[in-house]
Amino acid sequence: MKRNYFYLFVAAVAFIEVVIFSVSVDIVDPLPSVLAIILGILGIYFVRMHLDEVIEDERTQKITEITALRTLQISWVGLFLFALWIIIEALGEEFRHFNRPLGIFGFRLLAILAGIIVLYVALSIYYNKKYGV
């Protein structure tokens, strides 16, 4: 199996697990979720053993680093806009009718996003000191 097909397989397993988790919540039974996670891990492990290509070399590691950084940046901006949209939606027509649970969720999401930025900066400082850049 080629590396790109392996990544597609992992994405498909993640999507299927989200669907199973949703069904598990609907039927109020955690067993399907637990089984799906265990089977997903085993499936990815066995498929990874049958890869035709080397998974990691310098070029693929650099591509992975760039991809991870862009994913973080795009996800952060998207979640930031989503959190602002939630807060604006919670405000409604007037400030007097603030939907408190929805608004609190939006502010908590903003706090998590701020934490992600702090973590990114802290790790950036750490690795700059470690590797002398």
Residue 71 has which token pair?
């994913």
| 94: pLDDT strictly greater than 70 | no
pLDDT at residue 133 is higher than 80: no
User: What is the average per-residue pLDDT within 94-109?
Assistant: 76
pTM for the model stands at 0.57
Tens digits of residue pLDDT in 32-91: 888 999 999 999 988 888 887 766 678 878 888 888 888 888 988 988 998 888 888 787
Domain coordinates in residue numbering, the chain: 1-55, 56-133
Token pair, residue 75, equals 């996800």
Does position 96 have pLDDT exceeding 70, yes or no? no
